[in-house]
Amino acid sequence: MRADSGDSVLYVWTPRILRTALACGAALLVTGLCVMGATDPGSYVAEYRALQHGGPAAHAIHVGQLVHQVAHGRGRALLVAGLLVLTLVPIGRVAFAVVVFALEHDWVFAGLTSLVLALLCVGVLLGQIG
């Protein structure tokens, strides 16, 4: 298996993708917490208290709105962006694997990884329905 060039590419690049995305997500989370602490610490505490009493965990995410708020340095939006980056890490590495297997004409694994990618997209739809 290790002799296959496609697999070798995956063994080299997958750890890099994972580490880079993890660092980006963590940086966004730390920045978000710092900005919230500096600008609106009261809302953090209020939201935490509300959660303990059964308040809503979050609101639906609108990508356009999120990008706009991140660009304006809103703490909560930076936190949400950090969480999105972390959640998208595994999707990114599956998408990368699809491309590598397709380029290597390894159609069985290109199919299997595409199916995983499709299932992950179904996850977003399931959440929006539920």
- Quick one: 71 or 128, whose CB is closer to another protein? 128
Residue 96 interacts with another protein (CB under 8 A): yes or no: no
Q: What is the dihedral of CA 30, 35, 37, 42, to 10 degrees?
A: -130
Out of 54, 63, 64, 71, name the contact with another protein by CB under 8 A: 54
Count of C-beta atoms within a 10 Å radius of residue 63: 8
Long-range contacts from 17-23, C-beta under 8 angstroms, 24+ separation: 17/89, 17/92, 17/93, 17/96, 18/89, 18/93, 21/85, 21/86, 21/88, 21/89, 21/92, 22/86, 22/89
Find out whether 17 and 92 touch, Cβ atoms under 8 Å.
yes
Contacting another protein within 63-82 (CB under 8 A): 76, 79-80, 82
- Quick one: 56 or 71, whose CB is closer to another protein? 56
76 CB contacts (<8 Å, ≥6 apart)? 32, 36, 40, 43, 69
Contacting another protein within 22-51 (CB under 8 A): 22, 25-26, 29-30, 32-33, 36-37, 41-42, 44-45, 47-48, 51
Q: What are the residues binding another protein (CB under 8 A)?
A: 1-2, 4, 7, 10-12, 14-15, 18-19, 21-22, 25-26, 29-30, 32-33, 36-37, 41-42, 44-45, 47-48, 51-52, 54, 56-61, 76, 79-80, 82-84, 86-91, 93-94, 97, 108-109, 112-113, 115-116, 119-120, 122-128, 130
